[in-house]
Every structure is written in C-alpha cells, then in structure tokens.
Structure 1
Amino acid sequence: MFKKLEAYFKSENDAEAVRAKLNNKVNVRNVMIDQVSDGLANKFVVPLVAGGGGTSATMPGNSPYPIPSSGEGFFKEDEGERKTVLECEVSEEDFNEALVILQENDAHVNKNSFE
C-alpha cells in the first residue's frame, strides 16, 4: 500500500532535488511539483525533527525517524514562504525513509500525513 505525502519547500529547485532523491531511494509514484498561490495560509504543516535515536518506533520520543515537531522553538519567523509543494505516494515500507529525506532537505510536511 501507498501513503500520500505532501511537503512544502522554499523553492522549486529544493523540491526538484528532493524528487530526484525520492525516485532514487524509495518506492514512490505519482510525484508532482506545483506552486501554491496562497502559500501555507490554509494548511497546517510542520517541520520534521529527528526522533530520539532509539530503536523503537512505538514511542514518538524514541523514534529513529523524523517526527512532526510540536511546541515552541521549532518555528522560525524568518524562514520565508513555502509556496512550492511536492505531492507523491510513498510505499508504506519506505515512508519513514522518505521522511528522513524530507527532513534532511528542510521540508515542511502536511500534518495529515501522520494520521
């Protein structure tokens, strides 16, 4: 099965670089890059932060994979707008690896990707 993933970037070049990495490293399909005119005005997206580095993914704090950040200190005022969106479907087996790629490339991910 595949899970939908929606990530936002500062530029189209950033999104294109991630598209190439996803295509080379994970099982991904239906990859599209587009511009959104309203940016993130009507979306709830979060930056990804590293998990606790443990070996168990049962507790968010112990996840070896990126998790959505929450709390103060993760959102920066001067980040600039993210008007480029990359949408794709990632195999469930590769979903966490795809999140690592997104985290390494400063993507913000739609919160609904984690439900």
Structure 2
Amino acid sequence: MEHHLQAYFKNESDAETTLAKLQRCPIRDARIDSIPDTDSNPFLLPALSFSSSSTPSAGIITDRDVVSQAESSEAFHYILEFYVKEEDKKEALSILSKTEAHLDKDAYDKNNK
C-alpha cells in the first residue's frame, strides 16, 4: 500500500532541501508547488509531531496548540507532495521531522493512529 504525503513549507529552499533528504528512501512522483496566496492556512503541525511514541515529548505541539498555530501570521507558500510505500513511511516521516516541514491536522491524525 502507498501513502500520499504532503508537507508544507514557508520557502522553496526548505522544500528543496527536504526533497533532497527524502531521496534516500524510496519515494515516487515527488513535486514541489507554490501555494496560491490565501487569507488563511489549513491547520498545520510541525512534522516533528509525528513521533512513534503515544505521548508527546518536550517541544511537541499537541492538538490543543493547533488553534494558536493556525491563528498565527505564519504563511506557508510551498507544498512538497510524494508517494511512499507503507514500509518506508516511517523513515519518510522521520526525515520530515528533522526539517522545517509542517503537515496538516488530517495527516497528523491519520499517521498517529
């Protein structure tokens, strides 16, 4: 089974750097696109929130913190999309967690079950 992952970035450089790091695990159909300017961003969480433990560790943003994140003036202008196989998803999420990537709340919920 394959998973479609989307990671949001504030700038193109961070997205490109992350894509280069992801090349070490098997991903396919990777692309970086700019996000049209909008007045709001979706509820986004830093990718470092995607840990394998069930309890958040220090510095991890929890669901309660999402509202303050969404209400901030931060704007994400680039999206990195790719497909990864089930057996490689954990490695891909680990790589994302060490970058400036943010994932939407739906992805957070789906990947932390």
TM superposition score category, shorter chain reference: 0.7 to 0.9
Compared CA separation, residues 18 and 95, structure 1 to 2 (3 A): same
Match of 1:34 in 2: 33
Query: Structure 2, unaligned stretches of length 5 or more?
Result: none
**Whole-Å Cα distance in 1 between the matches of residues 99 and 62 of structure 2?**
15
Q: Secondary structure at the match of 2:81?
A: strand
TM-score by length of 2: 0.73
Listed as ranges, the matches of 1:1-115 within 5 Å are 1-24=1-24, 26-38=25-37, 41=40, 43-48=42-47, 49=49, 51=51, 57=52, 60-61=54-55, 69-72=62-65, 75=69, 77=72, 80-113=74-107, 114-115=109-110
Conserved? CA contact 1:40–1:83, under 8 Å:
no
Contact (CA 8 Å) 1:5, 1:88: kept in 2 or not?
A: yes
Between Structure 1 and Structure 2, which shows a larger proportion of helix residues? 2
Q: Percent same amino acid among aligned pairs?
A: 34
Q: Over residues 22-45 of structure 1, what are the superposed CA-to-partner deviations in whole Å (9 max), with x where a residue is unaligned? A: 112x11001010001135825332
Cα gap change, 1:39 to 1:46, in 2 (>3 Å):
farther
Deviations along 1:73-113, one digit per CA (max 9) or x if unpaired, are 883946x3111000011111111221121121121112333
Superimposed CA distance per residue, residues 42-86 of structure 1 (whole angstroms, 9 cap, x where no aligned partner): 5332223263xxxxx5x6228xxxx873223883946x3111000
SS in 2 for 1:75: helix
Q: 1:23 to 1:68 in 2, by over 3 A?
A: farther
RMSD (CA atoms): 2.9
User: How far apart, in 2, do the equivalents of 1:90 and 1:105 lie?
Assistant: 18
**What stretches of structure 1 of length at least 5 have no aligned partner?**
52-56
**Runs of 4+ with deviation above 2 angstroms:** 38-45, 48-51, 72-78, 110-115
